[in-house]
C-alpha cells in the first residue's frame, strides 16, 4: 500500500480497536438487519435489459468503485442514461443508503452522499436503506465489518467461481443494538479520527504533488532526446512455479500481486510470503527493476514497486529493467505518472503485455540530472516516513 493507504490503515485500525473496546461485550438482544431497515434490495446490470453504458449521464456504482476501506471512487464511476435510471426505479440510490457488496469481493461497504446522486447500481451490491433514528450509520458500518457479523455470512457464501450472498442472507444478519447514546459516542469518535486522517492524507498528497511538480520542472519543456521504453529497458513477465519450487523460506523472494500490499512494501519490495528455489533465479526479474500487475483487475490499482534484488514473480506481474541510460528512481516516477489501466488491451480479462509497454516514449535527460532528481526523492521519502511516524504516535495517543 502507498503512504496514503498507510495513513488510512493507521486510523482505520484505531476505529476498529475503539469499536471492540466499546461494544465487544455488548452482544445481547441482537436484531435482524431487516428490522432496522425500510428496504434491502439490489440492482440490475443495464445490458441485460437492453441498455448500454453511456459516456455521461446518471452515475452507476459497481463493486470496483468501492475500496476495501469504504471509499467510493467517484472518478471511476460509469454512467447510464436517464431512461435506464427511470426503468430501474428499485435501485435508484438515495442519500444515506448503505451499499454492501454481495458477490465477488463480499463485504465492501460505502455510504451514498449527495454529490454522487443521481445514481443507480447493479445486482452485486445490496442497498440497505435504514429506518430513521433507530441505528447510527457509522456504528452499523463498523458493525458490518466486525468479527461478530463476519462469522455470520462467511458460512453463507455460495458459489464456486463467484461467491455470493442473497438478499435474504443480508436481511437476516443479526446486529447488536446497544444504547443509542453509545452508538452516537462512537460516531463522534469516528468524526474526530476522520479529521486527523484527512489532515495527514492532505500532507502526504502535498508531498506527492511536490514530486510531480519537480519532475515536470526538471524534465519537461527541455530539448532532451525522446526514446521508447523498448529501446532503453528490458521487459519480462513472471511465471507460475511448480509446487515443489515454492518455499516458505529462502533467499530468492517469490512475489505475488498480494505481496505488494504487505507492510514495508509500499515502494520497495522488502518481504514476501513465499520464496523460490535458487534454481529459479534464471527466470527471475533482475535486481534494480520496477514491477507491476499485468493481468486482471489488479491493473486498476496502479501499483508499481521497486525490486533491489533478483526476485521471482508470478505470471500476473511484469518487470521493467532500465539500461544505464535511465536512473531507476527516474523510471519509477515515469511509471508513477502513468495510468496502467489506459494500456490494457481489449480482451475480456484486462492484460498488459510487452507490446503495450515497449512503444511508450520517455524523455532521456542527462544521467547526472536524473541522479539529482533521485536525491530529491530520497529527501521527500524521509519526510513522508516522518509524517507516518507522527500519525502512528497520534493514533496511539487516541487509544
Give 146's Cβ-side CA count (13 Å radius): 26
The residues, ordered by sequence, that sit 6+ positions from 281 with a Cβ below 8 Å of its Cβ are 252, 310, 312
Give the pLDDT confidence score for residue 276 in this predicted structure: 95
pLDDT at 156: 63
Report the distance separating Cα 140 and Cα 83, nearest Å.
33
Give the cell for residue 176. Answer: 447488536
Which residue is it, cell 484505531?
A: 14
pLDDT at residue 216 greater than cutoff 60: yes
- Percentage of the chain beyond pLDDT 90 is 65
Assess contact for 337 and 204: CB atoms under 8 A: no
pTM of the predicted structure, to 2 decimals = 0.72
Work out the pLDDT band at 61, boundaries 50, 70, 90.
Answer: very high
DSSP conformation letters of 103-170: BSSTT-EEE--GGG-SEEE-TTEEEEEEPTTSS-HHHHHHHHTSHHHHHHHHTT-B-SSS-B--HHHH
- Overall average pLDDT of the 163-189 stretch: 90
Cβ atoms of 252 and 241 closer than 8 Å: no
Quick one: pLDDT band at residue 1, thresholds 50, 70, 90? low
- Following CA atoms 52, 54, 59, 60 in sequence, which dihedral angle do they give, to the nearest 10 degrees? 30
Q: What is the pLDDT of residues 266-279, one digit of tens each?
A: 889 999 999 999 99
Q: What confidence tens digit (pLDDT) does each residue in 33-42 have? A: 999 999 999 9
Which range, of 17-21, 41-45, 104-108, 116-120, averages the lowest pLDDT? 104-108
Average confidence (pLDDT) over 247-276: 91
pLDDT number for residue 345: 66
* Angstrom distance (rounded) from CA 297 to CA 281: 28
- pLDDT, tens only, 292-334: 999 887 888 889 999 999 999 999 999 999 999 999 999 999 9
| pLDDT value, residue 312 | 96
Q: What is the pLDDT of residues 333-373, one digit of tens each?
A: 999 989 888 887 656 678 899 999 999 999 999 999 999 99
If DSSP codes are grouped into helix, strand and coil, which group holds residue 78? strand
Is a pLDDT exceeding 80 seen at residue 99?
Answer: yes
Q: Domains in the chain, start-ordered, CATH in brackets?
A: 27-177 (3.90.220.20), 225-364 (3.90.220.20)
Please provide the average confidence, as pLDDT, over all residues in the chain: 90
| Rounded Cα gap, residues 94 and 6, in angstroms | 31
Report the share of the chain in percent with pLDDT over 70: 96
Q: Which residues contact 266 (CB under 8 A, 6 or more apart)?
A: 1, 2, 3, 5, 6
| pLDDT tens, position by position, 195-214 | 999 999 999 999 989 998 99
Query: What pLDDT band is residue 160 in, cutting at 50, 70 and 90?
Result: very low
3-class DSSP state of 351: strand
Higher pLDDT, 158 or 399: 399
CA dihedral defined by 254, 255, 259, 263, rounded to 10 degrees? 80
Cα(218)–Cα(228) distance, integer angstroms: 19
Structural element, H or E, at residue 291:
strand 289-293
pLDDT at 158 over 70: no
Cell numbers linked to 45: 446490470
Does 286 have pLDDT greater than 60? yes
Q: What is the distance between the alpha carbons of residues 254 and 238, in angstroms, rounded to a whole number?
A: 10
Closest to 100 measured CA to CA, from 135, 131, 130: 130
Question: Is residue 262's pLDDT more than 90?
Answer: no
Helices and strands (H, E) in the chain, number of each type = 10, 19
Higher pLDDT, 76 or 12: 12
- Helix, strand, coil shares, percent, the chain, to 5: 45, 20, 35
**Parallel, antiparallel or unpaired: strands 119-121 and 58-61:** parallel
324 conformational bin, left if phi > 0, alpha if psi -120 to 50, beta if neither: alpha
Distances (CA, A) of 55 to 59, 81, 138, 311, 341: 10, 9, 33, 41, 17
Question: Is it the case that residue 114 has pLDDT exceeding 90?
Answer: yes
- Find the Cα–Cα–Cα–Cα dihedral 11, 17, 18, 19, rounded to 10°: 110
Amino acid at each position: 500500500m502507498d503512504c496514503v493507504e498507510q495513513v488510512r490503515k493507521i486510523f482505520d485500525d484505531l476505529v476498529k480497536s475503539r469499536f471492540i473496546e466499546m461494544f465487544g461485550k455488548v452482544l445481547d438482544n441482537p436484531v435482524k438487519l431487516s428490522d432496522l431497515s425500510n428496504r434491502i434490495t439490489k440492482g440490475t446490470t443495464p445490458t441485460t435489459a437492453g441498455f448500454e453504458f453511456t459516456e455521461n449521464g446518471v452515475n452507476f456504482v459497481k463493486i470496483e468503485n468501492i475500496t476495501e476501506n469504504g471509499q467510493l471512487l467517484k472518478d471511476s464511476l460509469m454512467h447510464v442514461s436517464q431512461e435506464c435510471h427511470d426503468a430501474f426505479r428499485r435501485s435508484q440510490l438515495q442519500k444515506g443508503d448503505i451499499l454492501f457488496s454481495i458477490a465477488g469481493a463480499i463485504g465492501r461497504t460505502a455510504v451514498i452522499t449527495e454529490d454522487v446522486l443521481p445514481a443507480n447500481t447493479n445486482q452485486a451490491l445490496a442497498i440497505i436503506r435504514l429506518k430513521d433514528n433507530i441505528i447510527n450509520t457509522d456504528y452499523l458500518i463498523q458493525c458490518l465489518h466486525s468479527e461478530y457479523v463476519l462469522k455470520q455470512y462467511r458460512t453463507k457464501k455460495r458459489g464456486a467461481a463467484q461467491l455470493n450472498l442473497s438478499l435474504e442472507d443480508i436481511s437476516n444478519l443479526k446486529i447488536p443494538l446497544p444504547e443509542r447514546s453509545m452508538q452516537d459516542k462512537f460516531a463522534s469518535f469516528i468524526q474526530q479520527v476522520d479529521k486527523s486522517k484527512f489532515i495527514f492524507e492532505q500532507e502526504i498528497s502535498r508531498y506527492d504533488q511536490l514530486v510531480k511538480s519537480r519532475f515536470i520542472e526538471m524534465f519537461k519543456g527541455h530539448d532532451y532526446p525522446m526514446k521508447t521504453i523498448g529501446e532503453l529497458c528490458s521487459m519480462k513477465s513472471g511465471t507460475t512455479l511448480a509446487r515443489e519450487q515454492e518455499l516458505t523460506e529462502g533467499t530468492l523472494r517469490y512475489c505475488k500481486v498480494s505481496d505488494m500490499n504487505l507492510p514495508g512494501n509500499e515502494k520497495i519490495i522488502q518481504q514476501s510470503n513465499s520464496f523460490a528455489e535458487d534454481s529459479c533465479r534464471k527466470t527471475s526479474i533482475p535486481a534494480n527493476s520496477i514491477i507491476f500487475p499485468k493481468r486482471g483487475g489488479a491493473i486498476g490499482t496502479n501499483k508499481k514497486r521497486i525490486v533491489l534484488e533478483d526476485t521471482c514473480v508470478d505470471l500476473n506481474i511484469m518487470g521493467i529493467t532500465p539500461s544505464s541510460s535511465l536512473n531507476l528512481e527516474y523510471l519509477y516516477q515515469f511509471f508513477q505518472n502513468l495510468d496502467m489501466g489506459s494500456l490494457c488491451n481489449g480482451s475480456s480479462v484486462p492484460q498488459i503485455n510487452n507490446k503495450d509497454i515497449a512503444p511508450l516514449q520517455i524523455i532521456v535527460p542527462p544521467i547526472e540530472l536524473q541522479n539529482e532528481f533521485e536525491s530529491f526523492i530520497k529527501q521527500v521519502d524521509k519526510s513522508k516516513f516522518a509524517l507516518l511516524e507522527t500519525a502512528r504516535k497520534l493514533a496511539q495517543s487516541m487509544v
